[in-house]
């Protein structure tokens, strides 16, 4: 039997890497991650990453992750993949309503899916774009997540902005940086479009498909925004977590920069 090759990483080595990057106990950090990008052999996998970050943040820090479940939406809007129109009504009738403790994430990766199940973690009430949080400010971050304008002023993203939190990109690029969506709500640009979404939720103990207003979100230019933010401001901290490229940045200047960038460039 062949032995595993490459580097080995542990909670302690990951913890040292996070500290070198600039994670401290006074921070509120939202993590976007790819466990595969760590490379080598991580003892404990996603759990080791979570524990290492939590140990860095300590009692005064807060860890946040997106725990989205976009499949809890009307099947007529599904594109990746689409489903037969003859299935739509059956899907609407049988799809379980959102339950924070039960509903799995979709396309979020192994780390957020493990994190949402951890004792002490709480998850926001939005059926499609929830966030989970652990630590000192977890309630302030995730409570009161409104249905309408789901990543706007009533969302954990706005609370993260108010708390002067940080974003940590671990093995992923700015295209995954959910915080930039907050700028879409705040910016004025041509082509901003209002839409109506639907999701199954519990209302007085009964499952109901509930409609809520939102805007059409578009992350196609997030990489350009993020790279411009790095070049112009110089506030992004770069480093390595295991073998993964990592970037740590403050949310408030990022969102403010993205608002101005969108107003200038999306209006062209």
End-to-end alpha-carbon separation of the chain, Å?
Answer: 60
Q: What angle do CA 239, 122, 184 make, to 5 degrees?
A: 60
Q: Is residue 101 part of a domain?
A: yes
Tens of pLDDT, residue by residue over 122-132, are 999 999 999 99
pLDDT at 43: 95
Residue 141 has pLDDT above 60, yes or no: yes
Confidence label for 5 from pLDDT (cuts 50, 70 and 90): low
Confidence label for 4 from pLDDT (cuts 50, 70 and 90): low
Q: Is residue 7 part of a domain?
A: no
pLDDT at 2: 59
Q: Is residue 1 part of a domain?
A: no
Residue 118 has pLDDT above 70, yes or no: yes
Q: Is residue 64 part of a domain?
A: yes
Which percentage of the chain shows pLDDT scores above 90? Answer: 91
- Is 81 or 47 the better-scoring residue by pLDDT? 47
pLDDT at 95: 95
Residue 242 has pLDDT above 70, yes or no: yes
Tens of pLDDT, residue by residue over 246-255, are 999 999 999 9
Q: Is residue 241 part of a domain?
A: yes
Q: Is residue 197 part of a domain?
A: yes
Give the mean model confidence (pLDDT) for residues 188-209.
Answer: 93
Q: Report pTM.
A: 0.94
Range of the domain at 41: 14-265
Q: Is residue 225 part of a domain?
A: yes
Q: Is residue 9 part of a domain?
A: no
**Three-state SS annotation for 181-208:** HHHHHHCCCCCCCEEEEEEEEEECCEEE
Residue bearing tokens 């509903």: 103
**Nearest Cα to 22, choosing from 256, 236, 245, 234?**
236
Number of domains in the chain: 1
C-alpha–C-alpha distance, residues 70 and 78, integer Å: 9
């Amino acid at each position: 039997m062949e032995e595993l090759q490459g580097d080995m990483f542990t909670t302690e080595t990951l913890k040292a890497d996070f500290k070198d990057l600039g994670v401290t106990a006074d921070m509120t950090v939202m993590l976007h991650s790819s466990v595969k990008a760590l490379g080598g052999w991580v003892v404990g996998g996603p759990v080791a990453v979570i524990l290492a970050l939590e140990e860095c943040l300590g009692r005064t820090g807060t860890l946040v992750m997106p725990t989205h479940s976009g499949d809890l939406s009307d099947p007529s809007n599904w594109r990746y993949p689409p489903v037969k129109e003859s299935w739509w009504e059956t899907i609407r009738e049988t799809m379980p309503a959102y339950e924070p403790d039960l509903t799995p994430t979709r396309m979020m990766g192994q780390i957020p899916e493990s994190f949402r199940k951890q004792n002490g973690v709480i998850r926001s009430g939005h059926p499609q774009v929830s966030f989970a949080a652990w630590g000192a400010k977890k309630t302030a971050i995730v409570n009161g997540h409104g249905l309408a304008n789901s990543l706007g002023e009533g969302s954990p993203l706005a609370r993260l902005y108010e708390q002067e939190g940080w974003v940590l990109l671990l093995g992923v690029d700015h295209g995954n940086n959910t915080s930039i969506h907050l700028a879409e709500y705040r910016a004025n640009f041509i082509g901003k479009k209002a839409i109506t979404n639907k999701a199954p939720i519990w209302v007085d103990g009964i499952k109901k498909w509930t409609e809520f207003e939102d805007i059409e979100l578009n992350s196609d230019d997030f990489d350009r925004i993020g790279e411009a933010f790095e070049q112009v401001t110089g506030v992004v901290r770069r480093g390595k977590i295991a073998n993964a490229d990592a970037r740590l940045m403050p949310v408030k200047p990022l969102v403010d920069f993205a608002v101005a960038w969108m107003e200038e460039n999306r209006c062209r």
